[in-house]
Structure 1
Amino acid sequence: MRYTVDERHERILELVREHGTLRVTDLAAQLGISTVTARRDVEALSSGGRLDRVRGAVSWPGAPEPARRRTLLGAGARPAPAPAGEGPVIGLVVPQSQHYFGEIIRGVQETVQSAGGRLVIGLSGYVPGQDEVQARRLLEAGVDGLLLTPGWMRDGAEPDAPPLDFGVPTVLLERRAAAGTEAAELDSVCSDHYAGAGLAVRHLMSLGHRDIALLAGVSATGVQVRDGYEAALRAAGIPRPPVEPIELYVGEQGLRRVDEAARALLAAVDGGKVSAAVVLSDTDAILLLQILRGLEPQLQVPTDLALVAYDDDVAVLSDLPLTAVAPPKYEVGEAAVRLLLERLQEAAPGVARTARWHLALLPELRVRQSCGAELKS
């Protein structure tokens, strides 16, 4: 049955009056409308004081707490329990579930579960347009808020950037938005890769190295690491890098690109231009070591080249354990969920809204053998 807006609002009021409190997704199913439409309707009704919003649900003003989260089922049917308790349903859109994002997802999932909520994930695969597709899909599934890692975003200033306002509380995850963009008005939680690169450079300088190269691919992390690396050099009185940053990959990773990077690095060391390097990521650093051992002239780490990896997923598993900068991935996921839960609470009527947060968590330097220091971990 098709309703006018007014008819739909009246029907929503009737259902909520009858049940006390109902999930927005239940209302959508009962009325045969999308979750997005139902959410807009209850926002309009709650703004007018006719209903109260309660974390993904809507309640009749003054309804007792036990009436919450009943399901719309036929007479005599048993109500279905909330999937993971009485907490919110959180949507997470990330480019992939492995590599860098695996530990972030674990932090998100465990924090959502500890809040009695449920996590629903969408994978964009770095495919243009899929961030929005996955976000819309999760909204249709009834999520109360979104954690979003736009696969297209590197520095937040990309031209023709798609909109990020999906009508629910949203927190950017591991992305830094450029000033003056729409994304800059959202909450965000990320690793401070800018400072993390500085940790690597300062450690190498403490060992006497000033000719420090950077090897990195083109990515959101790579943009910040490069900026931090160059800023740390300038802070030490070095106006420019000894060689231009060596690209490990553009788009897809591959051994051919790492081999080219290894040869460029070998030439820089052999020519006396470089004595140390920062490599993003540690997987690439391990591959780099393997290739360097097969080239002529042979280059020994750390005797001929001190090396710091960036990421620390598998750096300690190298046959020569790698000193590495470790972004606080689990803590980023944890902090993002806690911030989003606060925003969901503030969406309730009568709750004051606080200032937006751009939260950056500092990585940790884990010193091992690849930069000439003693093994510590």
Structure 2
Amino acid sequence: MREPVELRRKRILAVVHARGAVKVSSLATELDVSAVTLRRDVEELARTGMLRRGHGVVRPVADDVPARAVPAARSGDTAGDGAAIALVVPERHSYLYETLHGARTALEEAGARITLHIAPQAAGAERPQVERALAAGARGLLISPRWRSAAGEEADYGWLSEVEVPTVVMERRPRPGSALHALDSVCSDHWYGIHLAVDHLISLGHRRLVLAARNDSPTARAIRSAFSEIAASRPEVEDWTVVLSSPNAGPGEPGTREPVPDLTALLRERGVTGAVLHGDEDALMLVQRLTESGIRVPRDCSVVAYDDVVAALGSTALTAVAPPRAEIGRAAAELLLDRLAHPAGTQGPVRRVELLPRLEVRGSTQELIRSAD
């Protein structure tokens, strides 16, 4: 599915605001966007006053505002004046770019200097980015690792737990008892998000449910676990199942291969009338396929998407669970700034913060219409 224009432009703004000034050619390569598309986006963003254009360079509109200058070192700031805070996020990840935007806003308001490091889509890609940032003198780290599998997540625990600057993990919840359990983190409460989705469907009379979800991120794994637990515990639910949402929604765990069912056939075979679909792009495509197969949304099947990045943009706007993406980034940045403002040993206990998602009810869910016996 082609990336929506508004999301691509959000990614452009995130990089420009984090860097302060970026070459157009470098920006196109970094964001994996054609030069023609990038220039068109830059022209439109400049026209609407959201960034400034120069000779082959783009800058944020606030580039000349004194608040962007690096402040004098605060009490307990041992890295020296001008040391930056490093933000590390995966490339081409619209969900986490909104988290990045929230973090960047909070850091800029505090006058902190930022360096953005985008990790490519490869196992272990975050570690070289972090090492590069530390070698350049970063005084703090905000990081959202991709962690496509639980094994890949575990592989990063050792080196990330040994980073020698204050670190906050954004929108990730390290495994309890792991080496990162005692690392500051700020995350959405995905259990609660799935609770909202299931409870909404049950309240509308739906009793046979399916979760069609990804299996290539910590969020996906948390959603799958929560759905299984909640659906099994609700006596109203007569039947439920969890399936992979699309062929590219894996790979899941090494050595495993999860089949991708025909969702249309599955809904008919099991009499499913309520579906939770993760993430938004897969959800929109699945709804299109259901419609093409004669399953009407929401008359025949109510659908709740999980992510709410582009869920409202479909021909039928999707009811969606909306994790507080920008607020996660802001809370993580504020926590890191608090760590940096206090000398080591006076910073208080480690904090594992969870923020609750909300449910945005739109046109893809309705009360179940039962046929007459």
Q: Same fold (TM over 0.5)?
A: yes
Displacement, 1:353? 2.7
Tell me if structure 2 keeps the 8 A contact 1:216–1:279: yes
CA deviation map 1:110-156 (0-9, x unaligned): 10000001111111123122211000111122211001222236558
The verdict on how the C-alpha distance between 1:332 and 1:302 changes in structure 2, with shifts beyond 3 A counting, is same
1:41-56 correspondence runs (5 A):
54-56=76-78
Q: RMSD value over aligned CA atoms?
A: 2.5
- Whether 1:149 aligns to 2:144 is yes
Partner of 1:194: 191
Counterparts in 2 of 1:148-297, with a 5 A limit?
148-152=143-147, 154=149, 158-161=153-156, 162-164=158-160, 165-218=162-215, 219-237=217-235, 242-250=240-248, 264-295=262-293
CA contact under 8 A between 2:87 and 2:143: conserved in structure 1? yes
Asked if 2 retains the 8 angstrom alpha-carbon contact of 1:156 and 1:181, the reply is no
Q: Is the 8 A contact 1:189 1:332 kept in 2?
A: yes
The answer for the alignment partner of 2:334 in structure 1 is: 338
State yes or no: 1:130 paired with 2:125. Answer: yes
Equivalent positions of 1:295-374 (< 5 A) are 295=293, 298-347=294-343, 352-372=346-366
SS of residue paired to 1:353:
coil
Query: Displacement of 1:248 after TM fit?
Result: 2.3
The match for 2:99 is 104
Equivalent-residue separation in structure 1 for 2:247 and 2:336 (angstroms): 34
- TM-score, normalised via structure 2 length: 0.70
Amino acid at match of 1:107: G
Cα distance in 1 for residues equivalent to 2:282 and 2:292: 16
Cα distance in 2 for residues equivalent to 1:287 and 1:358: 35
Structure of higher CA gyration radius: 1
Asked if 1 retains the 8 angstrom alpha-carbon contact of 2:212 and 2:242, the reply is: no
User: Is contact 1:89–1:120 with CA below 8 Å preserved after alignment?
Assistant: yes
Paired amino acid for 1:210 = R
* Identity within the alignment, %: 36
CA distance in 2, matches of 1:185, 1:240: 40
In the TM superposition, residue 250 of structure 1 has moved relative to its aligned partner by 4.6
- Offset at residue 193 of structure 1 (A): 1.3
Unaligned runs of 5+ in 2: 1-73, 252-258, 368-373
Which amino acid in 1 is paired with 2:142? L
Which letter maps to 1:306?
A: S
Are the structure 2 counterparts of residues 194 and 313 from structure 1 closer, same or farther at C-alpha, using a change threshold of 3 Å?
same
**Match of 1:44?**
none
Partners of 1:125 and 1:210 lie apart in 2 by 42
State the aligned residue count.
Answer: 284
Partners of 2:218 and 2:149 in 1: how far apart?
4
Where relative contact order (Cα < 8 A, 6+ residues apart) is larger, the structure is 2
Q: Residue 132 of structure 1 aligns to a residue in which SS? A: helix
**Distance in 2 separating the partners of 1:265 and 1:336:** 38
Structure 1 stretches of 4+ moved >6 Å: none
Describe how 1:28-107 pairs up with structure 2 within 5 A: 54-57=76-79, 69=81, 89-96=84-91, 98-107=93-102
Cα distance change, pair 249–189 in 1 and its aligned pair in 2 (3 A): farther
1:158 is displaced (CA, Å) by 4.8
Shift of 1:103: 0.9
CA contact (8 A) 1:321 1:370 kept: yes
SS state at 2:114 partner = strand
Is the CA contact (8 Å cut-off) linking 1:157 and 1:181 kept in structure 2? no
In structure 2, the CA distance between the partners of 1:360 and 1:240, relative to structure 1 (3 Å rule), is farther
- Alpha-carbon deviation of 1:277? 0.3
Q: Tell me, yes or no, if the aligned pair for 1:155 and 1:177 is still in contact at 8 Å.
A: no
TM-fit CA distance, 1:205 = 0.5
State the Cα deviation string for residues 219-267 of structure 1 (Å, max 9, x = none). Answer: 21111111111222133126895234234245579xxxxxx95x62211
Indicate if the aligned counterparts of 2:302 and 2:365 stay in contact, CA closer than 8 A.
Answer: yes
Amino acid at match of 1:179: P
CA contact (8 A) 1:163 1:182 kept: no
TM-score (norm 1): 0.69
Give the CA deviation at 1:274.
1.0
Residues in 1 aligned to 2:155 and 2:219: alpha-carbon distance in whole angstroms: 21
